[in-house]
Structure 1
């Protein structure tokens, strides 16, 4: 079979893109009221949740990079990140911010590291694959409390999501094994905290901006990024509503029902899978509304897979952010598929043991879970308060791991072990 010529392939792309654009315009003309209401809904989500929750972290991350704190963490966490994930130590900063703050800050910070030349293209593709994750408050507040009315369900969701993320990072370390890598920090026998401080000082001098200019640049860049994210949220809210009105989502649900039945998933969950392909909140909500006879284990497995996949809305945001660099979107999309499969599988395996343990032991929930409000989970002050402590906890845990590792190596070299 002869391969398609580049000219013909380009023409096919043009026809396909044009047909999609024409379809969207015609749909908006046919359903103007639904398009307006869904666009307004997307705007409310962006203004009430996304903008106030992500803006402080976008600004803080830009300032931390300008003052060299990322370089400081990179030197300290190099022994953990490079052997485990084959990314430089600065990737730990992206990992901590992504786990605490949620989509799409992992992609944003990965792109910034690439623009600064702190990671190679291959390392960027590895890093963004497992650091662009959902935040805990969404899984506990929106899904567990808001949709399923049981905060304890969020424990299994979060454990499956983050364990799958770490496993994905280990898997993606084999992505392009011969790809370019940034050189490790030069060998230095001085105390590792001192090395980190020197690296931070050099980075701050190289940047050269003062606090006022740095804050101004950080605010300007962050708001521009969030405006683009808001546009994607509104547009996909409209697309999902219109596709539902004309019956496309129902048709796709019927099409994948045989596949779900083959792998043992109730076909009643097909509509939640299709909805989750486009938007994680909608997919989770549809799964929670599945018939009562559907086992909760399968509902939560689908929700877990949907959250890990993250939806086309987040994919579009990530593709836009990465387009400013040479980091490719293809590996990220493939990694999202793997993350979805891993998270769903882990949920199926761990659901009964974890829930039985919680019921039998009547153990107390973690403090940050108990603090999640049952009805106002989206309020920006709650999100920022919890995100800050989660970020400090993750960074502290990573630093403690490195300190213990270096101490064990020191004892081993001295023959104490």
Structure 2
């Protein structure tokens, strides 16, 4: 009986029943929190993410991703044990923020350009905040200090880079996928009489460029859709994804409000304050950590308003940004649900990234302190 009750499915079901009861007890507060979540989605997330979702679909259809995959292959494999095509995901993930990296990784998996181990490595260190949110919302909006942005960016993205290096040891016995290399034809022969190191290096660069262009051309032919059809499909796919993201944001906004009403959030915050006190951190930051555990925006705002000293506030903000909040975790998990990529490696990676970024704030404070 006890084993049945503590099964994850049973716990989730009981949690959902509890939230439903609380919504019946606090209907006004549930409606107001849902409206706040909808406002965040419509005013912030939709304009920030929708263009990137459409663009990513277009770039895949035109074969641009395959071009960069072949060019970046010599860099990505030795550093991260990933095919070069992962470099495009890294760039787009860092520029556009979560959950774009997970979306692109799922697409690469569906096209058999990455396997499960590589996809899990890729999602682990491309689930990051976007620079606009880090600078505009957190540094300027919550901390009212734009000079804090370089420190937060160095800690957040530097922690992601270190995490990528660590993730190369994830699933060490998994075979490497061919990426786009297995789909290329043989490059053209080089001219006779070419000799010397410089000439050989130039020849190799030309060969790699030719292979990259050929990969892009073959991917475009394989897709086969015209511009109008490709644009229509991209917009429809992006809209479906934005509806999922919006639903999760509204849902977690209601969950946070209901848990706050019954005192769960305050009780958890008190426990975190005690833990922070043991490690010499200001107890007031416990609220920011608890809010950030569920939702990154609420946690970052609470960190900016804590008033416990800028260094500690920046450290907990870096933790929140790198953890991402359970709302982001749910978005990523929903995107990966159609693949065989597992959630557990992502969960561990988010924790490691959070503490790496937090530690980097203290390490870099002497050089980048505002």
Q: Normalized against structure 1, the TM-score is what?
A: 0.81
Equivalent in the alignment of 1:244: 260
Equivalent in the alignment of 1:295: 309
Pairing partner for 1:309 from 323, 344, 369: 323
Equivalent in the alignment of 2:79: 84
Q: Taking structure 1 as reference, are residues 26 and 338 closer, same or farther at Cα in structure 2, changes over 3 Å only? A: same
- For the pair 1:322 / 2:317, whether they are aligned, the reply is no
Q: Give 5+ residue unaligned stretches, structure 1.
A: 359-417
Equivalent in the alignment of 1:217: 233
Q: Please give the secondary structure, in 2, of the residue aligned with 1:319.
A: helix
- For the pair 1:39 / 2:34, whether they are aligned, the reply is yes
Deviation for aligned residue 1:97: 0.6
CA contact (8 A) 1:73 1:90 kept: yes
Equivalent in the alignment of 1:93: 88
CA contact (8 A) 1:130 1:165 kept: yes
- For the pair 1:233 / 2:238, whether they are aligned, the reply is no
Q: Give 5+ residue unaligned stretches, structure 2.
A: 188-203
Alignment map for 1:4-403 (pairs within 5 Å): 8=3, 12-183=7-178, 185=181, 188=187, 190-290=206-306, 292=307, 294-355=308-369
User: What do residues 216-265 of structure 1 show as CA deviations (whole Å, max 9, x unaligned)?
Assistant: 11111110011000000001111111111211111001112232122221
The more displaced of 49-58 and 8-17 is: 8-17
Q: Please give the secondary structure, in 1, of the residue aligned with 2:77.
A: helix
Distance 1:216 1:273 in 2: 41
Deviation for aligned residue 1:181: 1.7
Deviation for aligned residue 1:71: 0.6
Q: CA RMSD in A?
A: 1.7
Q: Please give the secondary structure, in 2, of the residue aligned with 1:267.
A: coil
| Aligned structure 1 segments of 4 or more residues deviating by more than 3 angstroms | 8-11, 186-190
Distance 2:324 2:260 in 1: 19
Q: Please give the secondary structure, in 1, of the residue aligned with 2:175.
A: coil
Deviation for aligned residue 1:12: 2.7
Deviation for aligned residue 1:9: 5.6
CA contact (8 A) 2:69 2:87 kept: yes
Deviation for aligned residue 1:354: 1.1
Give aligned pairs, total.
349
Deviation for aligned residue 1:137: 1.1
Q: Taking structure 1 as reference, are residues 81 and 141 closer, same or farther at Cα in structure 2, changes over 3 Å only? A: same
Equivalent in the alignment of 2:191: none
Distance 1:129 1:305 in 2: 15
Distance 1:11 1:169 in 2: 34
Deviation for aligned residue 1:18: 2.1
Distance 2:280 2:331 in 1: 33
Deviation for aligned residue 1:352: 3.2
Distance 2:279 2:80 in 1: 31
CA contact (8 A) 2:34 2:254 kept: yes
Distance 1:311 1:354 in 2: 26
Q: Taking structure 1 as reference, are residues 14 and 171 closer, same or farther at Cα in structure 2, changes over 3 Å only? A: closer
Distance 1:24 1:165 in 2: 34
Distance 1:139 1:13 in 2: 34
